[in-house]
Amino acid sequence: MDALLVTFITVVERNNFTKASEELHLTQSAVSREIQVLEKKYGVKLFDRTNKYVRLTKAGEILYHHAKDILIQYDRVEKLIHDLAHSAQGVLEIGSGYTFGEYLLPRVIQEFKLLYPSIIPKITIKNSHRIASQVLRRELDIGIVEGKLEMQGLVAIPFARDEMVVIVSPAHRLAGRAVVEIGELGSETWILRERGSGTREVTNRVFSDVGLSPTSIMEFGSSQVIKESVEAGLGISILSEWTIRKEVKYGILSALKVRDVPISRDVCYVLPVTQFRTRATDLFVECIPDLVKNLVLR
């Protein structure tokens, strides 16, 4: 059955029987026969086909939605059973929010690979909410998210603390100050991450806690673009200290603390609520707190 589902999904995603047959290394007639077997099994048409297009029927849409989940579960079962008889190896699907994923995860993976060279990390970088959703759907073995996370079906375990600061350009009126008052920032243009990111959630929480309501906000989808924009004098922002170490060291950006307003967040790994995990996932969970601690102290 799983081979039939692979054929079906390939036809859907290539939207073409010929392209699907080429990818699967089957004849087009063989692909058609496998689709007919599925249609006979369920007693429905899965595709509307003409000379110009291939289109899913409603029944086909339902099967496609669930077939993806079924194949993910097949893959997970194979990994779990393989782990019983072999040492940890193979692909470990890791998802991460942008801040941790872009600035710490590459070095974490480097150190982890030295310990377990037979494990092959595969990395996905998206905002924290999307990473959590993929873990919940079992598309990822483990996710790393910034800030608080509450999502039914997932467990979130803090393993590191991320300190955050206000950043301004070297030409800004506040540059060079170690500490500023929150009232000095109310009239500034704020350059923030997109909604759904862990960084944005922390920023919104800080604004709410201190009663700050900026009148001018710009949104960008990555920390790098925000840093470039702040450097250019377009506004100010709040970012993780992890992301700005080089810029502060070389005087490209200035970092400010806000008096009596601590800005920090937990970094958590998230896992599905289940007693079954691959050995590679368990090893990564065991290692990551110490790996991060060693990197931060360097």
Q: Which of 155, 178, 153 is nearest to 165 (CA)?
A: 178
Task: Give the pLDDT score at 86.
Answer: 58
pLDDT truncated to tens, each residue of the chain (298 aa)? Answer: 478 888 888 888 888 888 888 888 888 888 888 888 888 888 999 888 777 778 889 888 888 888 887 877 777 677 666 665 556 778 899 999 988 999 999 999 999 998 888 899 999 999 888 999 999 988 999 999 987 777 889 999 999 999 999 999 999 999 988 899 988 898 899 999 888 787 888 888 888 888 888 889 999 988 899 999 999 999 999 999 999 999 999 999 999 999 988 888 899 999 998 767 888 898 899 899 989 988 876 6
Enumerate residues 6+ apart whose C-beta is below 8 A from 21.
27, 28, 30, 31
Q: Which of 169, 171, 175, 216 is nearest to 192 (CA)?
A: 216
Which residue intervals of 116-176 are DSSP H helices?
128-136
**In this structure, how many other beta carbons lie within 10 angstroms of the beta carbon of residue 53?**
10
* 158 DSSP β-pair partners: 268
Task: Give the pLDDT score at 238.
Answer: 93
- 3.40.50.10190, 4.10.1240.10, 3.40.190.10, 3.10.310.50: CATH of 162-265: 3.40.190.10
CATH code for the structural domain at 2-83: 1.10.10.10
For residues 166 and 295, give the distance between their C-alpha atoms in angstroms, rounded to a whole number: 23
Structure tokens at 142: 């483990």
Q: Where are the domains of the chain?
A: 2-83, 87-160+266-297, 162-265
Cβ-based burial of 2 (10 A; exposed 0-12, middle 13-18, buried ≥19) = exposed
Enumerate residues 6+ apart whose C-beta is below 8 A from 106.
none
Phi and psi at residue 144, to the nearest 5°: -120, 120
For residues 294 and 58, give the distance between their C-alpha atoms in angstroms, rounded to a whole number: 53
The fold of 87-160+266-297 is D-Maltodextrin-Binding Protein; domain 2 (3.40.190)
CATH topology of 2-83 equal to that of 162-265? no
Task: Give the pLDDT score at 219.
Answer: 93
Q: What angle do CA 224, 182, 128 make, to 5 degrees?
A: 35
For residues 295 and 198, give the distance between their C-alpha atoms in angstroms, rounded to a whole number: 21
pTM value is: 0.66
